[in-house]
Amino acid sequence: MRKRSTGWLLLAPSLVLMVLAGLVPFVYVAWTAFHRWNLNAVTRDAVFNGLDNVRRLVHDERVLDATRTTVLFAVYAVGSQLVIGYGLARLLMRRFPGRQLFRTVHTIPLLVAPIAVGATWRILLVPGLGPLPHYLEQWFGWHVDLGTSGTVAFWSLVLVDLWHWTPFVTLSLLAGLSALPVEPFEAARVDGAPAWRILWHITLPMLKPVLIATAFIRLMDALRLVDEAAMLTKGGPGDSTRFLGLQLVRIVFENNDYGYGGTVSLFALYVTLVISWALYTVTTGIKRQRAHGG
């Protein structure tokens, strides 16, 4: 009994922080989601309106389009980061001249704040100012203009996110690869197994917990992207890069619509949970199939 009370006493500060930083804001946002509370309206007080904000959300094309754009961005960005991060992690497992220097330089983007990343890449990509549009057009004939092409703007943000967060994926997978036992790999090589079979049947299954955890962390970050998009494209051109986070900022801070903003916030949380649950279900389902010989 004494050990149990000591454990709860040690956990108490963390539990208090979790309640204050997580549960209390969530309850408050949930409360606002069921109220009409717009400081630009005639009645500026919060008025209970039931599910009116949910009905408005269902028919709000801008929010739904922003959700589709956000999900596509997360899929492309996180998927490419996992593939490239794994390749770089395997590279860093080997010894080669300049490995420590490459590892240090590769990690530098993680030290930069997201808003600074967006500002830096805006300087690099603005036509007439940045060097990248000039050299891409001069060398390859590619015309890069974030202000006129929604496709270029979208993939530019994917590239920026790739540059910023691939080092995190690399370091995570490098730690996972370093912790794998060597005996299964040595046995597979002795049996003459090709490299792709070793990767598919030994490396990836053993690395799966690290892959899933890394994918979850990056997925949640990608789905709430705001800073880089605000600095680089401001959601344009048109609505091509208006992510759900940017749309939420406009609803709350520009339109002062706190009630509807609370509803959209809960919807963003719901989308994140559903996608994370789907990813977890698919990965654990594959594991069960292999365990049963399917």
Q: Which residue, 79, 70, 106, is CA-closest to 215?
A: 79
- The answer to whether position 237 is within a domain reads yes
- The answer to whether position 186 is within a domain reads yes
Task: Supply the pLDDT for residue 54.
Answer: 93
Q: What is the pTM of this model?
A: 0.88
CATH of residue 110's domain is 1.10.3720.10
Average per-residue pLDDT for the chain:
88
Q: Which residue, 71, 218, 85, is CA-closest to 154?
A: 71
Render pLDDT for 49-66 as a digit per residue (tens, 0 to 9).
989 999 999 999 999 999
What is the band of 294 on the pLDDT scale with cuts at 50, 70, 90? very low
Residue 285 pLDDT greater than 70, yes or no: no
- The answer to whether position 214 is within a domain reads yes
Q: How many domains does the chain have?
A: 1
SS3 per residue for the chain: CHHHHHHHHHHHHHHHHHHHHHHHHHHHHHHHHCEECECCCCCCCCEECCCHHHHHHHCCHHHHHHHHHHHHHHHHHHHHHHHHHHHHHHHHCCCCCCHHHHHHHHHHHHHCCHHHHHHHHHHHHCCCCCHHHHHHHHHHCCCCCCCCCHHHHHHHHHHHHHHHHHHHHHHHHHHHHHCCCCHHHHHHHHCCCCHHHHHHHHHHHHHHHHHHHHHHHHHHHHHCCCHHHHHHCCCCCCCCCCCHHHHHHHHHHHCCEHHHHHHHHHHHHHHHHHHHHHHHHHHHHHHHHHHCCC
Cα separations in angstroms, 209 against 91, 169, 198, 287: 21, 13, 17, 11
Structure-model confidence comparison of residues 43 and 173, the more confident one: 173
- The answer to whether position 4 is within a domain reads no
137: containing domain: 51-291
- The answer to whether position 233 is within a domain reads yes
Residue 243 pLDDT greater than 50, yes or no: yes
Residue 198 pLDDT greater than 80, yes or no: yes
Task: Supply the pLDDT for residue 1.
Answer: 56
Task: Supply the pLDDT for residue 284.
Answer: 72
Q: Cα separation of 125 and 120, whole Å?
A: 9
Contact 154, 66 (CB under 8 A): no
Cα separations in angstroms, 170 against 53, 73, 113, 141, 193: 42, 20, 19, 32, 26
Which of 146-150, 174-178, 289-293 is predicted with the least confidence, judged by mean pLDDT?
Answer: 289-293
- The answer to whether position 266 is within a domain reads yes
- The answer to whether position 87 is within a domain reads yes
Render pLDDT for 114-172 as a digit per residue (tens, 0 to 9).
999 999 999 898 887 788 888 888 888 888 888 888 899 999 999 999 999 999 999 99
Residue 69 pLDDT greater than 80, yes or no: yes
CA dihedral 158, 161, 167, 172 (to 10 degrees): -90
- The answer to whether position 260 is within a domain reads yes
